[in-house]
Amino acid sequence: MEGKPIQRGSILVVDDEKLIRWSLKEALGQEGYKVTLAEDGKSALEALESEPFDAVLLDFKLPDLNGLELLTKLRERDKELPVVMITSHSSVEHAVQAMRAGANDYVAKPFRTEDIALRVERVLETGRLRKEIQHLRQEQIARFGFGRVIGKSESMQAIFKLVERVLPLGDATILIQGESGTGKDVLAKAIHYGGPRASGPYMNITCTALPETLLESELFGHEKGSFTDAKTQKKGLFEVANGGSIFLDEIGDMSLYLQSKLLRFLEDKTFRRVGGQKDNVVDARVIAATNRDLKKLVEKGQFREDLYFRLKVIPIVLPPLRDRIDDVPLLVDYFIGEYNKEFKKNVKGVAPALMKRLMEYHWPGNVRELRNTIERVMILTSCDILGQEDLPLELLDEVNHTAAEGQVLKLTAKGVRIEALERDLVVQALKLSHGNQTRAGRLLGLNRDQIRYRIEKFNLKTLDPVASSDANSE
């Protein structure tokens, strides 16, 4: 009988009986495994030194070491190596000892080789899944860790120092406040994946996304038959987040009824499913976020004062981007790096003139708006250095408008000629808009007729070939 191709895995068989070693090598070899044999503990350890194995079949009784002693040595070398213990038929006690010592499975003598092959396949599959989960967790830690929280400004440095002290405290409740787009969700993930709960689940929900009844079921679960569509029991996010964290975004919009259930959970880690009669206990850390002023909501009776104080055990306030404008270059570089990978491009940076414009803008959408802007520019550009011409027209207009709002003319003792100033502003607007009269008018707060009137008044039709062609369409 021709064996299957060897590549399914490498197995070390440790048994002092020659016939058993031979039969296992034949059976597992036909299943496609590479099999190495060892007759005692010493030769098994030597084999483990010389090459890696995907699993070990280990007899409980060996001439030099017993199986438990060798298993302990194996676990010291590799905690994840799958081990199947071979025990005598009558010794249930040996099987229990083996499992407690770290064996993944056991089989009793006499056994069928088909049973052995099945158990080997099972422990190998479990080991592969465990490695995949560990790999995914490491990817998540790298992807959502503090490398994504960017800032050199004084306000962000203060936040970093606070979070550094909070990270080891895996149970502390955290309240993140800040305008929309400041990165509250990014910070929440960084806290989870940077702390002791990183290996646990991270669940998140926006409290405005669902009506009250559905939100209650989503958070706390429900029992079968508790309402019309409750055909089966369902676990809520708090149960699913056991051992990890749950991120409650827009907590300021949660109803007073659900606030009371959340308060109870924060107080004693217990809750009841919708329609349930018993308390459930889980270990999940709460990270809440809001863009609303909770203190004012408390004063208006729209938010529970006791919940407010219970949430703000560790309060973190993220500043708007306009208050940390020095962080814009760092953020731009970071987003360019991200989108270079995603779009397979090689953009090296931003022209100084464009960076100046980006730092003059007030960014009402905060970091989210900046990220979206860079993403859009990166998609459309064919250059390796981003320039002003790459900015979307509407954003360029807004940037120019913002910059103009920040400029205040200082009147000196020499005075100023209003008409000369007006002409100069029209000339600047036409140059900035490359002769587009509609956009030039928008920069000055004028409509098309008003800008045309001033172009004629100041004889600016020949200022620019583009302007004289009346490029006033968008």
95 pLDDT higher than 90? no
Q: Which two tokens stand for residue 386?
A: 């981003």
Q: Quickly state the pLDDT bin for 405 (edges 50, 70, 90).
A: low
Q: Are 39 and 16 in contact (CB under 8 A)?
A: yes
More confident residue, 138 or 223: 223
**For residue 454, what pLDDT is reported?**
86
From the list 264, 224, 258, 222, the residue with the least C-alpha distance to 239 is 222
**For residue 402, what pLDDT is reported?**
60
H or E element at residue 317: strand 314-317
Q: Which residues contact 288 (CB under 8 A, 6 or more apart)?
A: 173, 174, 175, 176, 247, 248, 249, 251, 311
Q: Which residues contact 140 (CB under 8 A, 6 or more apart)?
A: 193, 198, 202
Q: Quickly state the pLDDT bin for 156 (edges 50, 70, 90).
A: very high
Partnered with residue 317 across adjacent β-strands are 177
Domain 9-135 is found in CATH 3.40.50.2300 = yes
pLDDT tens sequence across 213-271: 899 999 999 888 888 778 888 899 999 999 999 999 999 999 999 999 999 999 999 99
380 pLDDT higher than 90? no
**For residue 96, what pLDDT is reported?**
79
Least confident of 116-125, 292-301, 390-399: 390-399
5 pLDDT higher than 70? no
Local structure of 18: helix, strand or coil = helix
**For residue 395, what pLDDT is reported?**
65
**For residue 104, what pLDDT is reported?**
86
CA torsion sign for 75, 80, 84, 87 is positive
CA 77 to CA 224: how far, in whole Å? 47
**For residue 362, what pLDDT is reported?**
85
Q: Which range in 138-152, 292-306, 372-386 is most confidently predicted, on average pLDDT?
A: 292-306
124 pLDDT higher than 60? yes
> Angle 455-456-459 (CA atoms, 0-180°, nearest 5)?
85
Q: Quickly state the pLDDT bin for 178 (edges 50, 70, 90).
A: very high
Mean pLDDT computed over 106-116 = 83
Local structure of 222: helix, strand or coil = strand
Domain 145-319 is found in CATH 3.40.50.300 = yes
**For residue 114, what pLDDT is reported?**
83
Give CA torsion, residues 178, 183, 189, 194, to 10 deg.
-90
Q: Are 376 and 343 in contact (CB under 8 A)?
A: no
Q: Are 105 and 119 in contact (CB under 8 A)?
A: yes
Mean pLDDT computed over 19-41 = 90
Where helices occur in 381-436 by DSSP H, the ranges are 393-405, 418-432
**For residue 6, what pLDDT is reported?**
45
More confident residue, 429 or 396: 429
Architecture of domain 322-405: Orthogonal Bundle (1.10)
Q: Are 233 and 223 in contact (CB under 8 A)?
A: yes
Q: Which two tokens stand for residue 147?
A: 């490398």
473 pLDDT higher than 50? no
Residue positions counted in the chain: 474
What mean pLDDT, rounded, does the chain reach? 85
CA 320 to CA 365: how far, in whole Å? 9
**For residue 460, what pLDDT is reported?**
85
pLDDT tens sequence across 355-378: 988 888 889 899 999 999 999 999
pTM of the model: 0.66
Q: Which residues contact 248 (CB under 8 A, 6 or more apart)?
A: 204, 205, 207, 254, 262, 286, 287, 288, 289
The packing angle between helices 393-405 and 352-360, to 10°, is 60
**For residue 89, what pLDDT is reported?**
58
**For residue 3, what pLDDT is reported?**
46
Tokens 């400041």 label which residue?
Answer: 182
